[in-house]
Amino acid sequence: MPLARSATCSEEIRPFPGGHPSYLLRRSSRRRSLALRVSEAGEIVVNAPLRLSQREIDGFLHKHADWISARLQAARAHRFDWQDGALLPYLGGHLQLRLLDQPGPARARQDGAALLCNALPTQTPALVLRWYQRNARALLGERLAHHAARAGLAMPPLRLSNARTRWGSNSAKGVISLNWRLLKAPLATIDYVICHELAHFKQRNHSPAFWREVEALFPDWKKVRAELRQNGRLYFQF
Ligand SMILES: [Zn+2]
């Protein structure tokens, strides 16, 4: 292979494998290895050697998918306006964020339709995310146990996920992963996603037979799935 005398570069916007968002791919003959960066604004930039195959780049992104999700979440959390009175999506409705300035430890707790958050402004996003995750674990676990019993299945292990493009999954080992952001969606959406994953214990595919299993557990699946496809992105602001 001839050595490049001066640097050759290219830049393109590429779709992220498996879903949004896009990322900026910069190739340069000067680079010898791959590098990945997520900016404060949530822009993903990949620097790659000029001739590296797209397959290797995709594999690299796939390998770092969790890290990218975490960084994107941090960038998004940053963008959400965590002001007193902000509306936090919750079970298809909202909780109103109330920022308190009281002595004592940083703490978030629900009081009716409000989420009272006693913390420094810089601590608020992390505190609210923790509150969501804690409550998601309790509620999703409860709904999973309920639907597993209806389906005549033992309660499967539950993992809370922070995935960027998935609401749920059912692993080869039978672990159900559910996105904590489901706590923002209506209860019917939560129930649909859980029934969908439980149906995968009977059919490990999305065949007509699979959808019949879903229908037996959750007859209204078509309507709820359509709503989730339409509104799902709104639940990813934080
Ligand atoms: Zn599925």
Distance from the CA of 56 to the center of ligand 1, in angstroms? 27
Tokens describing residue 86: 């902000």
Distance from the CA of 206 to the center of ligand 1, in angstroms? 6
Distance from the CA of 3 to the center of ligand 1, in angstroms? 48
Distance from the CA of 158 to the center of ligand 1, in angstroms? 16
Per run of 10 residues, the mean pLDDT along the chain (length 238 residues) is 56 70 88 89 88 92 88 77 94 96 93 95 91 97 98 97 89 96 97 97 96 98 93 84
Distance from the CA of 100 to the center of ligand 1, in angstroms? 42
Domain boundary assignment for the chain = 9-78, 87-236
Kindly state which CATH superfamily the domain 87-236 is placed in: Metalloproteases ("zincins"), catalytic domain (3.30.2010.10)
Distance from the CA of 57 to the center of ligand 1, in angstroms? 27
- Residue 119 CB: number of other CB atoms within 10 A? 20
Alpha-carbon gap, residue 62 to 64, rounded angstroms:
5
What's the pLDDT score for residue 160?
96
Distance from the CA of 35 to the center of ligand 1, in angstroms? 33
Alpha-carbon gap, residue 231 to 178, rounded angstroms:
17
Angle subtended by helix axes 65-79 and 54-63, to nearest 10: 70
What's the pLDDT score for residue 13?
78
What's the pLDDT score for residue 78?
65
Distance from the CA of 197 to the center of ligand 1, in angstroms? 6
Distance from the CA of 223 to the center of ligand 1, in angstroms? 16
What's the pLDDT score for residue 3?
42
Question: CA nearest 48: which of 23, 24, 26, 22?
Answer: 26
What's the pLDDT score for residue 18?
60
Residues 90/76, Cβ–Cβ less than 8 Å: no
Distance from the CA of 15 to the center of ligand 1, in angstroms? 22
What's the pLDDT score for residue 2?
41
